[in-house]
Structure 1
């Protein structure tokens, strides 16, 4: 006697279907980095590069070896980015702006792994460059996710990305070219 197989077909509710569509949009394969263009971004990058070079010269004139001076510049810049996010987060929480506070909390979690490697591996420019690059990729990725969830963007992401990009370029200038 053949067995009767009962197939249960369930239709997704509208709410579940909307959640599934949002989840598919947030998939990492859909992430496209946006390039910041314009002369304003170039001027900001040049300003940061000059600032990093001046700080580097000051540290080397105080007797720090080249590698340690470069990683110290990276540590100082990372600390400034962190402090900027933290100050804005406190401000938005005090003002009751939950959306902005959530965006800044995500930004802080994106770069939380940056400061410790720079301190632990002082003088290792390659390691510092990798740590800065990883933090920048996390920040870009999480910023892209937040923008797709709700287009309420925060300019702090762009400022931090520009700072980390300039810092990456600064650290890359000291690395010897492979033959």
Structure 2
């Protein structure tokens, strides 16, 4: 089973950061609601949902890592399933981003599509390694979560600054 002894502080910090950033993103979206055109609203929806999902995933995986080991392999299985689903979801978003024509910046595919998909692939692999009891699996999972958090912070900032300047 997973061995996260000594990692509790890390997972608590990443979970708190993800929860706080999710709340701040909701505030930005709420404060800018009604100021955009229909086209801007569609674009915001395409970019906002994956960012919120990414932050929620950091929170969920961090919380699962904090579950007491007496619970058996269930937390690890849920973590692996969540990460695999995250990869499928973010890969689908990456495909949608790649199909956008002249409606987004060239970097959007890499930051909102490819980056999250690669992060979730790494998280899924690290989750499986944790289940299999590999010695450095907790370190791999922490690197994946840190990468996920950094990508989500970058995307939340990009989204907030993009929404703030949009008006009818």
TM-score by structure 2 length?
0.43
* Bigger relative CO (Cα 8 Å, ≥ 6 apart): 2
Larger radius of gyration: 1
